[in-house]
Amino acid sequence: SPGMAATAPQPLPQQWWFGIWAVHNELWTYSKGQGVVVAVLDTGVDADLPELSGAVLPGADFEGGGGDGRTDTDTNETNGHGTGISVLIASRGGNSGFLGMAPEAKLLPVVTQSAQAYAKGLRFAADRGAKVINMSQGLPGACPSELQEAVRYAIERDAVIVAAAGNDGLNGNPSHYPANCKGVLSVGAADVNARPWEKTERQPYVDIAAPGVNAATVARGGAFQQGISGTSIATALTSGVVALVRSKYPQMKNREVVQKIVASAKDIGPPGRDDMTGYGFIRPYRVFTGELRDMGNPVFEEYDAWAKNAPPPKKDGSDGEQAEEA
């Protein structure tokens, strides 16, 4: 009824992706993420935040902190990177009214800041039933073998792994892992007009683009942040989309989910795939309506080619590096 519509939760003005993706008035008629666990491999989550009340499961800390992931360990100026990412994915509204993409999904926080922790975190998340694994961080270099093996482990357990392409497109443009690992859905950032963000990484591993410019979130302790940009934001919003799809279609396997997400994209760069935005700016509504491009599954075609000749799994190792927030 009109009265009910008037009192329904509405996104904040800073959440411009709700408008261009028709989140609250179209996507949410299909799903709000119920029944889906989204693992957030990051700095941990401020589980006491009202916006995340009832959303956060006990997770793990693979950086030696000994916690369960429900404390944000971020000491940088971002004031709680993992919390901000989690709010974008699954905020219930809380004090700020900020709404996540999938406000009925559950969050599994996993503290990971190094390649070894990434690998352990992926296995941990997969073993605990996470159907979406968000990795809004990265390190420069080729995908380490132990991390690629952990990606395989999670994929074989039906997880969709979403990773940030990186923010160094104007600063050397290095290749980043886990975004460059085979089988990972790698996300670049674009603005409200679906134009590529100038700092988004330009790499052949980029698969799609999503909103990530002049955005907002709620960080540790309830700090409202706005005017922020990065592929970490685009990745979190994409993970939220994946959670909606997995909730609506629980029998749909990970590779089909990824194929449909990519096939929903609108080409926004040079004709065809490009290194800034991949196959284009995703249009989530088309996944539900079936209005998809006629194309294959490039993410899993590349993964299958790797897996065909991959060596037997090895034990996880450590390179001792620390992650940068993408």
Q: What is the set of active-site residues?
A: 42, 81, 232
Kindly report the backbone phi and psi dihedral angles of residue 210, in degrees, each rounded to the nearest multiple of 5, phi listed first: -150, 170
Strands 106-111 and 176-177: unpaired
- Rounded to whole angstroms, the Cα distance separating 74 from 142 reads 25
Residues 6+ apart with CB under 8 A from 51: 87, 91, 92, 93, 94, 95, 96, 98, 100, 218, 222
For tokens 């939760």, the residue is 9
Side chain identity at residue 277, one-letter code: T
How far is C-alpha 220 from the geometric centre of its chain's CA atoms?
A: 19
Which tokens belong to 244? 């909606």
Query: 145: burial class by Cβ within 10 Å (0-12, 13-18, 19+)?
Result: middle
